[in-house]
Structure 1
Amino acid sequence: MLKVQEIRELIKLIDQSSIDEFSYESNGTKVSMKKEKGERVQAVQSPANIAPAASEVVSQPSTEPVEVESTPEPQAAKPAEKNAGGHDHEIVSPMVGTFYSSPTPESDVYVQKGDKVSSDTVVCIVEAMKLFNEIEAEVKGEITEVLVEDGELVEYGQPLFRVKTE
């Protein structure tokens, strides 16, 4: 495991260099650093036998000491939290693409909060590589929440709508 002083020295070297990203792994310990616009260096150290923790270091061009701040890794959402919003089904994106809430910019949206849907109701379009794919609700119920905005990029498996099924 690397000592804090060794990590600080690595951060200074990376900060002074033209390298934007750095990774190092030894004896089950992994350190990764990435610059964001040359102002922030983020270091993550995760040994095999210790729970992972993230350290953020804000570096400045002056000779002031570098601060290291540790924060615990976020925990996965609990199943009880999933149904807290009054829904029991999420319509997810089947692909990476651009989300469109209506067939054309001038048209009304397919669905909005409070609308009733059936399993074959088209709820949106996801454009991928110039192909417009209509996404159906796949369940019967009421839209309780729209999770993305028109024109937003969506990922595979990303929730688009929340539905309270009947």
Structure 2
Amino acid sequence: MDLKEIQNLIKFVSNSGVAEVKLETGDIKITIRTTLEGNTPDITYVQQAPMQQLAAAPAPAQTAAPVAATPTAATEDNSKYITIKSPMIGTFYRKPAPDKPVFVEVGTTIGKGDVLCVVEAMKLFNEIEAEVTGKIVKILVDDMSPVEFDQPLFLVDPS
């Protein structure tokens, strides 16, 4: 199912007057909810989940519980640092290209405007620049891993 078909489905559902439609095709699940007052879609979910991820999902949830106790102690130590966060959803890269060196390492002194990493979103590579001057204390994300909007990427010591 491509984007045009999804858009046509949303238009059809909003004009039909139904409150909610759920559609499952292979590994794609779509839920469209419309408001009762208007004919515009309220919430549209498009979720694609390969079977490999579904099988692996329960294991990380079990290991996440013991780790959850440690961030409270870590945040107290990190309160003096500035957190640089991801401005978008995408894939985090520490290097400009696979054969190039990383932008920054722990201990690197950075200045305002220095490129720290690249976040790839929809085949566009966006350079993330430092907004502060300081020293990289910790890199919070592994190379080539997915990041969410506002997810912490780096800790910087401004002193």
**Is the Cα–Cα contact under 8 Å of residues 90 and 159 in structure 1 kept in the other structure?**
yes
Q: How does 1:48-63 map to 2 (within 5 A)?
A: none
Counterpart residue type for residue 142 of structure 2: E
Deviation, 1:88, is: 1.6
2:88 to 91, 95, 105: 95
**Is the Cα–Cα contact under 8 Å of residues 86 and 164 in structure 1 kept in the other structure?**
no
Q: How does 1:66-145 map to 2 (within 5 A)?
A: 82-85=75-78, 87-145=80-138
Which residue in 2 is equivalent to 1:152? 145
Q: Kindly report the root-mean-square deviation, in angstroms, between the aligned alpha carbons of the 2 structures.
A: 2.7
Q: In 2, distance between residues paired with 1:165 and 1:88? A: 7
TM-score, length-normalised on structure 1? 0.51
**Is the Cα–Cα contact under 8 Å of residues 117 and 143 in structure 1 kept in the other structure?**
yes
TM-score, length-normalised on structure 2? 0.53
**1:83/1:89 Cα in 2 relative to 1: closer, same or farther (>3 Å)?**
farther
**Is the Cα–Cα contact under 8 Å of residues 123 and 135 in structure 1 kept in the other structure?**
yes
Deviation, 1:119, is: 1.2
**Is the Cα–Cα contact under 8 Å of residues 100 and 124 in structure 1 kept in the other structure?**
yes
**Structure index of larger Rg:** 1
Q: In 1, distance between residues paired with 2:135 and 2:79? A: 10
Which residue in 2 is equivalent to 1:12? none
Q: Deviation string for 1:70-117 (max 9, x for gaps)? A: x9xx89x76x85340474201100000000001000100000100000
Q: In 2, distance between residues paired with 1:95 and 1:111? A: 20
Between structures 1 and 2, the one with greater helix share: 2
Among all aligned residue pairs of Structure 1 and Structure 2, give the percentage whose two residues are the same amino acid: 44
Q: How does 1:12-23 map to 2 (within 5 A)?
A: none
Q: In 2, distance between residues paired with 1:160 and 1:134? A: 13
Q: Which runs of 5+ in 1 are unaligned?
A: 1-35, 41-70
Between structures 1 and 2, the one with greater strand share: 1
Structure 1 ranges of 4+ moved more than 2 A: 80-83
Q: In 2, distance between residues paired with 1:110 and 1:117? A: 10
Q: Deviation string for 1:18-60 (max 9, x for gaps)? A: xxxxxxxxxxxxxxxxxx76xx8xxxxxxxxxxxxxxxxxxxx
Counterpart residue type for residue 142 of structure 1: K
**1:135/1:114 Cα in 2 relative to 1: closer, same or farther (>3 Å)?**
same
How many residues end up aligned between the 2 structures?
A: 96
